[in-house]
Amino acid sequence: MDYRRGVVTGESVWRAIVLYGANSATYKFSFGETLLQVAATGRTHVTLDELAPPYAKLLCEALKRHDRQGIATNSRFLDACRAFNVDEIDQDTLHRRTVQYGFANVIDAFPQLSGTPAPVRFYEDRRRSSTSPGLVLRDELVELALSGHAPVLGVETTARWRLVETAWETGVSSALLTPELVYDPESQDLLLQIGQRRKSVTGVVAALSGYQDGRCAYCDQAMAQPVVEHVLPWKLLTRRWNGPDVDAIWNLVLSCRPCNDAKRDRAPHEDWMPWLEQRNNDLIESRHPLREVLMAQTGETATARHAFLRLAYRRATELLPVVWTPFRSR
């Protein structure tokens, strides 16, 4: 969210690419993780031959989880990964096909946001160089890969990848079906509920952290150990609550422990609530599949979502009138 508010850092732009970049295939997740792995060694130049093994390995593993890893009906690269998984081709053949087909679009598409170049460049494309073909890894990428942010970004990328897979598997991204993501407070996981059966998709902390740029929803400080917070308190469920489900994505944020302890069973001050409204709009804009779930929970349009949140807040503070003022609202 910070990048979209005008604060441009390598970390915030990387998150924007992962969260808001196009999702026609999951190549960008594998490619991004591979870039961070290579850049963490301090290298500033890498060939496609060197990128191919870890890049293909991640996608082969993904295909074992979900066979659908893109919206296109045919993909020579993914077909090669599938063939390798069932021992129809060997490692050398997979390597050649990865170099030939696997990077055709992702190198150009990865650094794009809404069809325009991202404000931070992480590499230079030198594939056509006659002397040293490959990618030149810029300082921005190397610094990011060597920073303390890299492990967190890896976890967030994996969470986003799982959400995209779930969207394509269930059809949630194209039409609102019976399956829905729900929050399990005990495991702190997002669960896919199909009838009476529940399946863990990903941890809610990893799924939401990127949208907060790793910062507390209430004080805007970096979080060492994020806590899952109900904005409108869970305590409402012990009262005669006739509002929307407070255990749903729209009402969940991440906070630091001090803010969590200070807030207790209170709603935040009304002046803070536009932050939650904007966060939910950001989630909806990011698509796959939180968009559909959130729109079903809060409204199809920004106007409807605004009215939904105001009504829910009014009902909550009628039952629990004592509110807490977050630090960023003071």
For residue 180, give the amino acid letter: E
Instruction: Give the pLDDT score at 184.
Output: 86
Q: Which residue has the tokens 């990893």?
A: 206
Q: Which residue has the tokens 């599938």?
A: 82
Instruction: Give the pLDDT score at 285.
Output: 84
Closest C-alpha to 156, from 19, 8, 10, 1 = 19
Instruction: Give the pLDDT score at 113.
Output: 85
> What does the domain layout of the chain look like in residue ranges?
3-147, 152-329
Which alpha helices (DSSP H) does 8-148 contain, by range?
A: 10-20, 27-39, 48-65, 76-85, 91-97, 106-109, 139-146
Check: CB of residue 25 under 8 Å from CB of residue 69: yes
Q: Which residue has the tokens 């939180």?
A: 290
Handedness of CA 17, 19, 23, 27 (dihedral sign): positive
Per-residue pLDDT of the chain (330 residues; tens, 9 = 90+): 455 555 688 999 999 998 887 767 899 999 999 999 999 999 999 999 999 999 999 999 999 999 989 888 889 999 999 999 999 999 999 999 999 999 999 999 999 887 889 999 999 999 999 999 999 999 999 999 999 989 999 999 999 898 888 877 766 544 433 346 678 888 888 877 666 677 777 888 998 998 898 999 999 999 988 999 999 999 999 999 999 999 888 999 999 999 999 999 999 999 999 999 999 998 888 865 678 778 888 999 999 999 999 999 999 999 999 999 997 765
**DSSP notation for 68-104:** --BSSS--HHHHHHHHHHTTSS-HHHHHHHIIIIITT
Instruction: Give the pLDDT score at 195.
Output: 63
Check: CB of residue 15 under 8 Å from CB of residue 213: yes
Q: What helix, strand, coil percent values describe the chain, rounded to 5?
A: 50, 15, 35
Closest C-alpha to 63, from 26, 108, 98 = 26
Q: Which residue has the tokens 């060694």?
A: 41
Instruction: Give the pLDDT score at 73.
Output: 81
Q: CB count, 10 Å around CB of 197?
A: 9
Instruction: Give the pLDDT score at 288.
Output: 59
